[in-house]
Structure 1
């Protein structure tokens, strides 16, 4: 039976707000909030289980809400006042879902490509940067994204919003720097760290092999552990007055160079020099 909530004091309203605002609440319930039709579709397509769907019929008709649910889930209509309270975005579409979280473990990663391309970010903190990295990963169709030493809950609504749902479209895993390095070595994946120290130009590297591209924060760059364990450190030559750029921009340059090489290699069989 469909439910209806019209009171701002309803316990479910307070619960939704807690899930939006508190990483501790998300962890305790193993759930997170997704707002918007596209993001909900992408979460479902990405294998996340929709537990509850909330909508306001003035913005999102009941039949659309019912059709959005691919399997049994609680459906609740909200009054305009209540939906306005839980709406996270200014221009809301009138539909919000609660999903069951996944364990973002390295053990769950499945690399189906013989020469996988993995994007790794060490200790990113700003949701906007993380969202942009995930959008880049989706656009390039990388095999996986790893977040080393995460400082932000990846089911934070700001990350879901800034990634426009791309947090659900690519294999995603978290771990310590040591754990991820061990994973890469176990799977014989070359490590290319974006760092100024002992580096070569990024476009002189062979990215057609199994490769991981690692970027650090704009403030501190990559940790010494990454630099020491890299197959080769790489740098994007810059002709301006500063020696750094936004991490998501740098990741985009590196990832799409790897994709360009792979397309060229598939056509011509050409190889780039590998620096050791």
Structure 2
């Protein structure tokens, strides 16, 4: 990367662009760009094949030389723009910061482009995920399990919301992700002959009684309402995780992890 200009004004057009990408879905959708912050996040994005267009850094926290040593794979012609501490404090969104952020191009995540690395794929489907923290946690679980894909059906938030990137600790960039409508996702599963197991608060089968060794998609809904009736009715099985205490449900990512790792156990963690 090469040394760029120094920005000390909050009114600078680049600063306004960063803030728009940070705060507005419309800005991310219009430009196809997003902001990522943090060393691990940038490393994972580069490893995941994301195109970086600009890098910003605060010299009071990290030097250009340190930045270049940390990210040798950033193209030599990419501009590294220095921000004053005041400007950096305004554009950063993490409480504990490492003095750098980057501008990157979003990917398309088309369902028809989805490819699997297993002969019998294991997929997680999240219907209408709303809370960035929950979606980020699901992506962390998907990365830990090395799932073939995560499919988002009718999502309520865009993937490149900074809170999703932060809560996923960069796993957004390591997981194979597709986004589409419920209609298209259900049709896709039928065409690919992938069994659909849906998590439900009331169901006829315990999660541990099912066979996960074939091509399987595990579907979860929101914590508030769960999956819609349509997803339940079109499932090959509705599964339940038995509760021994006073509550009737668990955190979404915890429930998904239990189902996913049962599937991996049956597959000998392959």
TM-score, structure 1 normalization: 0.93
Q: Which blocks of at least 5 consecutive residues in structure 1 are unaligned?
A: 267-276
CA distance in structure 2 between the aligned counterparts of 1:12 and 1:38, rounded to whole angstroms: 24
CA drift at 1:82: 1.3
Give per-residue Cα distances to partners, 1:247-273, cap 9 Å, x unaligned.
111001101111111117x7xxxxxxx
Alignment partner of 2:36 out of 25, 34, 37: 34
1:216 matched residue in structure 2: 221
Alignment partner of 2:150 out of 145, 167, 170: 145
Question: What is the DSSP-based 3-state SS (H/G/I as helix, E as strand, rest coil) of the residue aligned with 1:2?
Answer: strand
1:253 matched residue in structure 2: 258
1:273 matched residue in structure 2: none
Give per-residue Cα distances to partners, 1:43-82, cap 9 Å, x unaligned.
1111110011000122111113234252232211111111
Q: How many residues align?
A: 265
Question: What is the DSSP-based 3-state SS (H/G/I as helix, E as strand, rest coil) of the residue aligned with 1:241?
Answer: coil
CA drift at 1:228: 1.4
Alignment partner of 1:62 is 2:64: yes
TM-score, structure 2 normalization: 0.95
CA distance in structure 1 between the aligned counterparts of 2:265 and 2:62, rounded to whole angstroms: 42
1:23 matched residue in structure 2: 25
Q: Which blocks of at least 5 consecutive residues in structure 2 are unaligned?
A: none
Question: What is the DSSP-based 3-state SS (H/G/I as helix, E as strand, rest coil) of the residue aligned with 2:16?
Answer: helix
Do 2:201 and 2:249's aligned partners in 1 also have CA atoms closer than 8 Å? no
1:92 matched residue in structure 2: 97
Give per-residue Cα distances to partners, 1:172-193, cap 9 Å, x unaligned.
1111111111111111111000
CA distance in structure 1 between the aligned counterparts of 2:143 and 2:10, rounded to whole angstroms: 38
Question: What is the DSSP-based 3-state SS (H/G/I as helix, E as strand, rest coil) of the residue aligned with 1:242?
Answer: coil
Give per-residue Cα distances to partners, 1:146-192, cap 9 Å, x unaligned.
11110011100000001100111110111111111111111111100
